[in-house]
Amino acid sequence: MYAFGMTDFTNTPTAHPTPTNPHLVCLVAQSRDGFIAKDSTHRSETWVSDEDKTHFHAKLNECDWIIAGRNTAEQYANTMRPYNCLVFTQHPENKVAEHFAHLDPEVDDPIAYLAAHGAKRVAVLGGTRVYDYCLENNLLDEVWLTIEPTDFYSGLPAFNKAHLLEEHLSLKAHEDLNDKGTELLYYKKDYA
């Protein structure tokens, strides 16, 4: 029995099997009305709970690579410095930081890139277009969705096609992170 995305090497007569796909873990914090930020400059640490920050860093530390969009990578370049980071951009020649990798996912396959570079567990950090790309292409193995008890009324949505979350993954756990109303939802892909 092989997990989704892994290769059965039993009939492969080579000492150099193709690399296996990495496991993608999506980390997202949204307002009660479904936004990850009021605009592209609205930093998450200004409104998420301390409990979400602890959860976020614990999950991030389990990963060996990060995927982030250009805006998020620019905002958090210092935080992301210790990690291997793949920045989604339509202009890979304009680097956020010299030591980050840059790729246009409409041109090059990010999963092939990560697999070729030995990525095992990848944190998908957003923003919206990055979450959309990964969800719409059914790339996410896990989604950790924090819902904070605040409303923005407008802003950047977490997912433009949020219904795909429950089509591609299953809700496995739902817990209160504190007594102020912060909730944590855990979705996981059901492997065949």
Ligand X SMILES: NC(=O)c1ccc[n+]([C@@H]2O[C@H](COP(=O)([O-])OP(=O)(O)OC[C@H]3O[C@@H](n4cnc5c(N)ncnc54)[C@H](OP(=O)(O)O)[C@@H]3O)[C@@H](O)[C@H]2O)c1
Q: Quick one: which of 48, 5, 36, 40 has its CA closest to 140? A: 5
DSSP letter for 21, please.
P
Task: State residue 130 phi and psi, 5-degree precision.
Answer: -70, -45
> CB under 8 Å to 112, separation ≥6 — which residues?
none
Torsion-angle region of residue 52: left (phi > 0), alpha (psi -120 to 50) or beta? alpha
Note whether 29 and 184 are within 8 A (CB): no
104 versus 167: smaller Cβ distance to ligand X: 104
Quick check: 177 binds ligand X (CB under 6 A)?
Answer: no
Minimum gap (Å) between residue 102 Cβ and ligand X: 9
Quick check: 139 binds ligand X (CB under 6 A)?
Answer: no
DSSP 54-101: HHHHHHHHT-SEEEEEHHHHHHTHHHHTTSEEEEE-S-TTS-SSTTSE
Minimum gap (Å) between residue 7 Cβ and ligand X: 26
18 versus 54: smaller Cβ distance to ligand X: 54
Q: Which stretch binds ligand X (CB under 6 A): 3-11, 120-128, 173-181, 184-192?
A: 120-128
Note whether 122 and 21 are within 8 A (CB): no
Quick check: 70 binds ligand X (CB under 6 A)?
Answer: yes
Quick check: 152 binds ligand X (CB under 6 A)?
Answer: no
16 versus 91: smaller Cβ distance to ligand X: 91
Instruction: Find the binding residues for ligand X in span 17-46 (CB under 6 A).
Output: 28-29, 36-37, 40-44
Quick check: 49 binds ligand X (CB under 6 A)?
Answer: no
Interface residues toward ligand X, by CB under 6 A: 28-29, 36-37, 40-44, 68-72, 75, 88-91, 104-106, 125-130, 133, 156
